[in-house]
């Protein structure tokens, strides 16, 4: 009975927790004053949510987050973070502890750290991402809750952070739920944990929260610049410099704490895959200098063409998941980004689809440095809970957080709002709201989504999707030769009745590296090779084809892929094995892309 009562009180406690939101996202954290909290964190696996439950106490005030210690020999406390195992953060727990390989549930993490506080500064506790629900505490007090596994969040801790010893505790829960984004079923590993960097970000009392550079599409020597402070303070001066362009301008904020200016340049070198030129930019507010590297380019569509800097471009792309080679789990570092993008480059790509969720900032920035264009997407995947207003709010926040983080990256040209969503009115209401939201946050990039094909007959494919009017690019996934009509791509005809560019956001099939046989034998490299030959020949006939991102760069872990001896919990549609070995189809795609570039 006592336990039931406590459970009821606990439900009330969770409702309070739900209300505490992170503070607005601070952009460009990689170039701010930060203290890393990466490294060893103690963790406790909490299968039955005991961490909130203590039958002697009021659970609104008691739980693992207090990091309590016995004060007297007779005190009973049934957890001890300091005796618990440690895990290197950032990481996913699935590949770091054998017991947690398939685990979905709660794990509590604790890190003790020293901090030296500087007078008059503010501090924020920042997480690059944690999957899926995070409830964060500092020194035994709740900071708030964040939902979504792939976007950054930060809490202001200026008052709670001590000069000296501190401890942060995070409860992470990666249970899949119908109302989540993504929802219960998806084809990738549900890696749990604090999967990206954790740090304390230090700012001035008033600081630049975000800013945006936009190149004028009609005049490549005109740049629009906007910034906003963290608060609505009028009359704050910010000096903007781009030394290489001899630009030095002082802006003064208005009553909303915002400022804008139009910059005129001469002989601006535009960013492009061939010349990924970045300019060093500084923003000075008082004594504080914030730096960034900025590229300038324009992207737009004209009829069925995609224009980059006014010139038509074919996007030789590849899809990829954020996953390390050799079964290493979630990719989370600059080195991981370099390893994956090296393979993207070697394949001859100028474009990558970062599927199916926002990847880490290192990847987007490294791709920008290497001249790789990016399609960035949120995990609105398959059968989302379309009619649930909370699900829509959640998807909108993930979209906004993705855009805010990467709005200055010249290589990001497409925001994708969904992947393979079954048609219907509820879905249309939901997705059109997302498209409108994306445009209101960033009108300078292209909006797309990976649609599904509805075929009129077996050999005639007609794309019919009411979402066509909301997007700039018509993209769709098609699996001819794999899920449909084995090896008959040559006979297919296509009808895409919209005057917009077309991207095939997925095609492909599975093969186990080193498994050989006839071209009609499933899972062999020869089968996949033939599928790529037939598909590329078929795609060449599509009117308005502006790019492709085949599925997928490398084999990736998925709980749906259970065929023993072949899949072994890997989706085998990679052109590379999980270890990075090239399958035969790799050479087909490479040759096709080489041909596109020599035209």
Q: Which residue, 212 or 573, has its beta carbon nearer to ligand GCB?
A: 573
Q: By CB under 6 A, is residue 406 in contact with ligand GCB?
A: no
Q: Which residue, 411 or 421, has its beta carbon nearer to ligand GCB?
A: 421
Q: What is the spatial distance between Cα 129 and Cα 357, in angstroms, rounded to a whole number?
A: 11
Q: By CB under 6 A, is residue 571 in contact with ligand GCB?
A: yes
Q: What is the spatial distance between Cα 37 and Cα 56, in angstroms, rounded to a whole number?
A: 33
Q: What is the spatial distance between Cα 476 and Cα 548, in angstroms, rounded to a whole number?
A: 10
**Are the CB atoms for 108 and 131 separated by under 8 Å?**
no
Of positions 46, 173, 187, 555, contacts ligand GCB by CB under 6 A? 187
Q: Which residue, 405 or 573, has its beta carbon nearer to ligand GCB?
A: 573
Q: Which residue, 170 or 502, has its beta carbon nearer to ligand GCB?
A: 502
Give least dist CB 452 to ligand GCB, A: 8
Give least dist CB 321 to ligand GCB, A: 9
What are the backbone dihedrals phi and psi of residue 35, each rounded to the nearest 5 degrees, phi first?
A: -120, 120
Q: Which residue, 92 or 187, has its beta carbon nearer to ligand GCB?
A: 187
CB-side neighbour CA atoms (13 Å) of 565: 3
Q: Which residue, 89 or 449, has its beta carbon nearer to ligand GCB?
A: 449
Give least dist CB 187 to ligand GCB, A: 4
Q: Which residue, 132 or 507, has its beta carbon nearer to ligand GCB?
A: 507
Q: Which residue, 108 or 381, has its beta carbon nearer to ligand GCB?
A: 381
Within residues 245-264, the interface with ligand GCB by CB under 6 A covers none
Give least dist CB 51 to ligand GCB, A: 33
Q: Which helix (H) or strand (E) holds 397?
A: helix 389-406
Q: What is the separation, in whole angstroms, between the first and last Cα of the chain? A: 76
Residue with tokens 């000096």: 239
Q: By CB under 6 A, is residue 584 in contact with ligand GCB?
A: no
- Asked if omega into 483 is within 30° of 0 (cis), the reply is no
3-class SS of residue 493: strand
CB-side neighbour CA atoms (13 Å) of 41: 28
3-class SS of residue 337: helix
Give least dist CB 454 to ligand GCB, A: 15
Q: By CB under 6 A, is residue 549 in contact with ligand GCB?
A: no
**Are the CB atoms for 517 and 474 separated by under 8 Å?**
no
Q: Which residue, 323 or 506, has its beta carbon nearer to ligand GCB?
A: 506
Give least dist CB 173 to ligand GCB, A: 23
Of positions 506, 525, 534, 578, contacts ligand GCB by CB under 6 A? 506
Q: In what order do the strands lie in the sheet with 279-285?
A: 247-252, 237-242, 279-285, 288-294
Q: Which residue, 272 or 455, has its beta carbon nearer to ligand GCB?
A: 455
Give least dist CB 123 to ligand GCB, A: 39
- Asked if omega into 519 is within 30° of 0 (cis), the reply is no
Kindly provide the b/e burial profile for residues 126-158, where b requires at least 16 CB atoms within 10 angstroms of the residue's own CB.
bbbbbbbbbbbbbbeebbbbbbbbbbbbbbbbe
Residue with tokens 């506080």: 117
Sign of the alpha-carbon torsion through 294, 234, 143, 177: negative
Total number of residues binding ligand GCB (CB under 6 A)? 9
Of positions 419, 528, 530, 549, contacts ligand GCB by CB under 6 A? 419
DSSP states of 235-293: T-EEEEEEGGGTEEEEEE--TTSEEEEEEE-SSPPPP-SS----EEEEEEETTEEEEEE
Binding mask 116-155 for ligand GCB (x = CB under 6 A): ----------------------------------------
**Are the CB atoms for 194 and 41 separated by under 8 Å?**
yes
Structure tokens that stand for 32 in this block: 């701010």
3-class SS of residue 15: helix
Give least dist CB 480 to ligand GCB, A: 12
Q: By CB under 6 A, is residue 523 in contact with ligand GCB?
A: no
Within residues 303-362, the interface with ligand GCB by CB under 6 A covers 356
Q: By CB under 6 A, is residue 189 in contact with ligand GCB?
A: no
Q: Which residue, 173 or 187, has its beta carbon nearer to ligand GCB?
A: 187
> What are the E-state strand segments in 148-236?
153-156, 164-173, 198-203, 208-215, 222-229
Q: By CB under 6 A, is residue 420 in contact with ligand GCB?
A: yes
Give least dist CB 322 to ligand GCB, A: 13
Q: Which residue, 213 or 556, has its beta carbon nearer to ligand GCB?
A: 556
Give least dist CB 481 to ligand GCB, A: 13
Give least dist CB 448 to ligand GCB, A: 14
Q: Which residue, 398 or 475, has its beta carbon nearer to ligand GCB?
A: 475
Give least dist CB 458 to ligand GCB, A: 20
- Asked if omega into 324 is within 30° of 0 (cis), the reply is no
Q: By CB under 6 A, is residue 551 in contact with ligand GCB?
A: yes
Q: By CB under 6 A, is residue 477 in contact with ligand GCB?
A: yes
Give least dist CB 449 to ligand GCB, A: 11
Structure tokens that stand for 216 in this block: 């004028």
The residue number with the shortest CB distance to ligand GCB is 187
Q: Which residue, 102 or 483, has its beta carbon nearer to ligand GCB?
A: 483
Give least dist CB 505 to ligand GCB, A: 8
Give least dist CB 558 to ligand GCB, A: 7
128 Cβ neighbours under 8 A, 6+ residues apart: 90, 152, 195, 196, 197, 198, 332, 360, 361
CA Rg value for the chain: 25
397 Cβ neighbours under 8 A, 6+ residues apart: 147, 148, 151
Q: Which residue, 398 or 549, has its beta carbon nearer to ligand GCB?
A: 549
Nearest to 501 by CA among 287, 306, 210, 240: 306
- By CB under 6 A, name the binding residues for ligand GCB: 187, 356, 419-420, 477, 506, 551, 571, 573
């Amino acid at each position: 009975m006592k336990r039931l009562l406590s459970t009821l009180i606990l439900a009330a406690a969770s409702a309070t927790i739900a209300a505490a939101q992170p503070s607005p996202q601070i952009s460009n954290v990689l170039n701010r004053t930060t203290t890393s909290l990466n490294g060893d964190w103690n963790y406790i696996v909490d299968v039955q949510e005991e961490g909130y439950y203590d039958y002697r106490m009021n659970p609104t005030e008691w739980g693992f987050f207090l990091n309590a210690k016995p004060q007297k020999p007779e005190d009973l406390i049934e957890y001890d973070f300091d005796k618990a195992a440690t895990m290197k953060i950032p990481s996913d727990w699935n590949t770091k502890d054998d017991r947690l390989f398939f685990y979905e549930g709660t794990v509590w993490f604790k890190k003790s750290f020293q901090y030296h506080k500087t007078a008059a500064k503010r501090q924020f506790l920042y997480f690059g991402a944690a999957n899926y629900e995070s409830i964060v505490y500092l020194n035994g007090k709740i900071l708030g809750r964040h939902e979504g596994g792939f976007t950054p969040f930060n809490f202001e801790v200026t008052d709670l952070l001590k000069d000296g010893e501190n401890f942060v505790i995070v409860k992470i829960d990666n249970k899949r739920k119908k109302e989540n984004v993504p929802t219960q079923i998806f084809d990738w590993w549900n890696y749990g944990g604090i999967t990206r960097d954790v740090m304390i970000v230090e700012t001035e009392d008033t600081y630049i929260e975000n800013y945006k550079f936009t190149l004028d599409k009609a005049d490549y020597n005109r740049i629009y610049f906007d910034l906003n402070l963290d608060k609505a303070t009028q009359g704050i001066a910010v000096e903007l410099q781009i030394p290489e362009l001899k630009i030095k301008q002082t802006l003064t904020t208005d009553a909303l704490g915002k400022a804008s200016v139009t910059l005129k340049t001469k002989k601006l070198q535009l960013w492009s895959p061939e010349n990924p030129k970045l300019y060093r930019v500084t923003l000075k507010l008082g004594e504080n200098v914030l730096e960034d590297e900025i590229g300038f380019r324009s992207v737009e569509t004209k009829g069925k063409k995609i224009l980059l800097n006014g010139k038509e471009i074919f996007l030789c792309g590849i899809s990829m998941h954020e996953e390390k080679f050799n079964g290493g789990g979630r990719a989370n570092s600059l080195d991981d980004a370099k390893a994956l993008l090296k393979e993207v480059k070697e394949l001859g790509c100028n474009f990558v689809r970062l599927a199916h969720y926002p990847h880490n900032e290192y990847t987007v920035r490294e791709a920008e440095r290497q001249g790789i264009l990016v399609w960035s997407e949120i995990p609105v995947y398959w059968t989302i809970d379309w009619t649930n207003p909370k699900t829509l709010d959640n998807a909108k926040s993930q979209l906004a957080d993705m855009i805010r983080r990467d709005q200055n990256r010249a290589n990001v040209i497409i925001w994708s709002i969904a992947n393979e969503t079954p048609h219907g009115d509820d879905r249309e209401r939901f997705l059109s709201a997302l498209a409108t939201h994306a445009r209101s946050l960033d009108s300078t990039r292209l909006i797309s989504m990976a649609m599904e094909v509805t075929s009129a007959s077996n050999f005639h494919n007609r794309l019919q999707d009411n979402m066509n009017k909301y997007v700039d690019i018509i993209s769709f996934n098609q699996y001819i030769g794999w899920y449909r009509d084995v090896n008959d791509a040559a006979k297919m005809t296509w009808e895409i009745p919209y005057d917009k560019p077309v991207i095939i956001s997925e095609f492909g099939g599975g093969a186990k590296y080193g498994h050989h046989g006839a071209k009609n034998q499933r899972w062999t490299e020869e089968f996949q090779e033939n599928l790529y030959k037939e598909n590329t020949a078929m795609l060449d006939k599509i009117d308005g084809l502006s790019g492709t991102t085949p599925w997928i760069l490398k084999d990736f872990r998925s709980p749906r892929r259970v065929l023993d001896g072949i899949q072994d919990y890997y989706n085998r549609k990679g052109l590379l094995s999980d270890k990075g070995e090239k399958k035969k189809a790799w050479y087909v795609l490479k040759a096709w892309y080489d041909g596109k570039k020599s035209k």
